[in-house]
Every structure is written in structure tokens, then in C-alpha cells.
Amino acid sequence: MSTSPRRLQHKVALITGAGSGIGYAMTKLFTAHGAEVSAIAHREAGLAKLAGLENVFPIQADITKLEDINRLVDDTQSRFGNIDILCNVAGIHDFCYPLDETTDELWDMVLNTDLKAPFQVSRRVIKGMLERSSGVILNIGSLTADRGIHGPSYCAAKAGLVGMTLSIAVAYATRGIRCNAINPGPVRTQIGDYVPIQGHVEGYKRAWGIIRGMPVPQQCEPEEIALSALFLCSDDSKHINGVTLAVDGGMSAC
């Protein structure tokens, strides 16, 4: 394991969802460890937070639009020359709406953001990684990938993200590219600000009833997820591929 305090020196990282929460914590930590970061944010408030950070290239984009994905990758490559690390962090959830109250619009909104967008960003970025035979992709999933705590759209999207992680890891293992995932438990973020609906009262009650019944910590800070991301994106984990790391205080063991 590296003893260097700058574990991402000379690396370029592209981080979606960088304007708040886990993505913002990762952006700050990665730059502290020597990386140059293309930080993708959807809202003006996120861009404003990123503007003052050293070695950060803020880009405003809607990752559910393919033209925005192509632009943010092109702009990053024009600025830095290559992308060594891709972190698919941006996401929304479904506010615990059960199946019979999940509309097609809610399903599409969650799946397009949490699964289709990471697929499209990864597909676009991996082209350059293949040319250099080097690269790391990290997907931020959720405890709900294998626990039915949320509604069907969020659980399906995060389970699909884990499946995509495994497929990428196997397909490109001999091409110098690694792909892993982190499944956080509840994290103190403002993810709810991105969904223009009210939370489902009974759905939330059920979810938090399950969580509070677990004999483990109920929430963690975004910075704690960022530390695990740093390890998985650095050469310290160069022999780790296709892994989904639970960072949930032990919830997935309950």
C-alpha cells in the first residue's frame, strides 16, 4: 500500500453529482490527494460551491441528456487530455413510493438518472481508457441494491448498477480497467432536493422503522464514503475489481 499522502497524484477524475453530498466530499478529498477533478453539477448552487476549489474544473450538465454527457466528456478531455477515473455519483431516489403508487414518470426519472446515465457516461469515458489500457470506474450504489427498503424504482436502479459494475469488471479486466461499486447506507445529504415530489408517508415510516431497528449506526457523513472511494480509485486497490463494498455501518449484515 502506498504511503504517499497524495494517492491520486497526476490522475484526472470525472465525478458526477459533485455539487453536493458524496460527490462534493469526493471532489475535495481527491484534489487533496493530487488529482485534477472535472466536477459535474446540475444546479447553480453546486457550481458556486465548486468554483473556489483548487484543481477543480466545474461543468454544469444534466446527465440524463446524451448531448450533455458528450459535452462534459469532451470538455474534460480538452482541459486535461484524458480521464483516468470516473465516479458515477449523481443520483435521486423515489421517496419510498410503493409499486401501486409508482407512476411511469417517477420510474423513468429514477432509472434514467440512477442507471441509464451511469451507463451512458461509462460507455463514453471507457473509450479513452481502452486507448490507454488503464482506468478506474467507481459506481455509487445503495444498501437498497439488495434490501427492499425503498420503492421499486430506486431498488431496481441500484441493483442494476451493481450488475453493470460486475459486467464491466469482467469484460475489461484484461484491458487494464477496473470497475467497483460502493453501497452506502443512509448518508446525510440533500438528495431529496432533486425530486419534485413529497415523500411517501407510509413508505418512509416503513423504511425508517426497519433502519432504526438495526443494532448499527443509522447514518454516516459523506466524507466517510469519500474515504472508501479514494481507496478504490487509487493504486492501493489495483487488484480489487468487480467488488461492491458495503459502507453502511453493518446494515447489510443485519
3-state secondary structure of 10: coil
Q: How far apart are CA 218 and CA 211, in angstroms?
A: 7
Burial of residue 253, with CB atoms counted within 10 A of its CB: 0-12 exposed, 13-18 middle, 19 or more buried: exposed
User: Which 3-state string (H, E, C) describes 35-83?
Assistant: CEEEEEECCHHHHHHHCCCCCEEEEECCCCCHHHHHHHHHHHHHHHCCC
Q: 76 near 57, Cβ under 8 Å?
A: yes
Q: 237 near 176, Cβ under 8 Å?
A: no
Instruction: Single out the residue of 18, 71, 21 nearest to residue 42, CA to CA.
Output: 18
DSSP run (H or E) holding 183: strand 177-184
22-162-218-213 Cα dihedral, nearest 10 degrees: 160
Residue showing cell 414518470:
105
Q: 233 near 136, Cβ under 8 Å?
A: yes
Which of 24, 154, 172, 204 is an active site residue? 154
Residue 194 bears catalytic tag: no
Give the active site residues: 154
